[in-house]
């Protein structure tokens, strides 16, 4: 079963607007990551935030983490048509389960030019 739930399932915005995606998870974590997937292709790692961090930036990406609410958000600022993709949050599993990642069901982002 999946750890995370993402919200919204789909998001459609205009170029230049900001896009915010949310992720909730169920169990305690060491870190949370965001990945991007273009139409049926491989996943690309975007950013990792550790459980003792509250906010992290990478270029136009801003990720927040609230461990008390077991939730994270990904903000993409000044979106571009090339940002159109599915975005997934992933959490690490229990320590005795190796390096497995547990993925949410993803948010499908569409950025219209």
Partner 1 sequence: DSGVTQTPKHLITATGQRVTLRCSPRSGDLSVYWYQQSLDQGLQFLIQYYNGEERAKGNILERFSAQQFPDLHSELNLSSLELGDSALYFCASSVGPRQETQYFGPGTRLLVL
102 near partner 1, judged by CB under 8 A: yes
Among 39, 42, 59, 69, binds partner 1 (CB under 8 A): 42
DSSP string, 16-69: TS-EEEEEE-SS--SEEEEEEE-TTS-EEEEEEEETT-SEEEETTEEEEEETTT
Q: Residue 86 half-sphere exposure, CB side, CA atoms within 13 Å?
A: 15
Among 16, 18, 27, 44, binds partner 1 (CB under 8 A): 44
44 versus 81: smaller Cβ distance to partner 1: 44
25 near partner 1, judged by CB under 8 A: no
Report how far residue 82's alpha carbon sits from residue 92's, in angstroms, rounded to the nearest whole number. 28
Size of the site for partner 1 (CB under 8 A): 25
Residues 61-80 that bind partner 1 (CB under 8 A): none
């Amino acid at each position: 079963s999946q750890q995370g739930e993402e919200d919204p399932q789909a998001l459609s915005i205009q170029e230049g607007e900001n896009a915010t995606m949310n992720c909730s998870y169920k169990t305690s974590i060491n870190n949370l990551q965001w990945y991007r997937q273009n139409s049926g292709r491989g996943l690309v790692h975007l950013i990792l935030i550790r459980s003792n961090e509250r906010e992290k930036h990478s270029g136009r990406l801003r990720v927040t983490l609230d461990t008390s609410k077991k939730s994270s958000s990904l903000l993409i600022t000044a979106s571009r048509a090339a940002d159109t993709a599915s975005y997934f949050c992933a959490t690490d599993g229990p320590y005795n389960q190796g390096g497995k990642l547990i993925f949410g069901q993803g948010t499908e982002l569409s950025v219209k030019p």
